Structure 1
């Protein structure tokens, strides 16, 4: 019950942050050892992932295209927003917030805890060899009702990676290069 309340509060907070982030991104634009994380059937053909972002405290990194910039913002509650975008408003947004215990995020978990959330084409993703996350399409209003999401918990943090569905290849490309330096 406690986790359900936490998830509901986090989702409400996320929707507010995503709305702000989508506005920042471009608003209504249409259009152990380290281990890689990845999504199946991804195409990185549109971009060359040559630059590396390394988070100084959470010990993860990912690669991104040279033409993109990374902006980080910390909120008063300690959550952090990372926005990766280019001058054409191609973008991916990441919200990282405290969660507590490490749990697997599944379609069933989200449907049970957030019954109004639309989850389309759910795909399980592996976070190292110990954790499971979920990649899915949704109707996130912050992304004009058509978003691609990847959610997972690692090291007591909830990671919510979101993009307009039309930027799905960018999100997948970034996620495929994601590495944690320390699998706890």
Structure 2
């Protein structure tokens, strides 16, 4: 099942998501539907708040970007109850976009190296370190379960310049190839 993608302005995108247990109802089905939704929407990551569920779950398949960022080869993972433990102090600026902020791409500064602890879809504990664009993709999706959007990292002037676009997105006045869900 392909979910509609929740867009800017919906309150679920601003909530800190709840941890989940292994017996969370229909978890495997939700994960399968998230993959389907992400691929249908041409994304490389999708967090549960983006489908209206305030739970600490996100999926990433960044393999399509491996030609440009070799560290992404084979990077297809499910992250449950993730916690970023360590952030490298060196920051790198790269362009980011988001399915919940369609038509907006901006330069965002993020730490270049992270350590993340999480459980996978089998609830096996993982403790991994990522660098480069892999770290960026994980941080972007992690932000969704923390109630943060990439536009929150922009300077006040840039945010003011985007206000009109953000208002249109929040009203559903945006052309995309996937179904969206607004706050109303």
Same fold (TM over 0.5): no
Q: Normalization by structure 2: what TM-score?
A: 0.31
Write 1 or 2 for the structure with the bigger share of helix: 2
Q: Normalization by structure 1: what TM-score?
A: 0.31
Write 1 or 2 for the structure with the bigger share of strand: 1
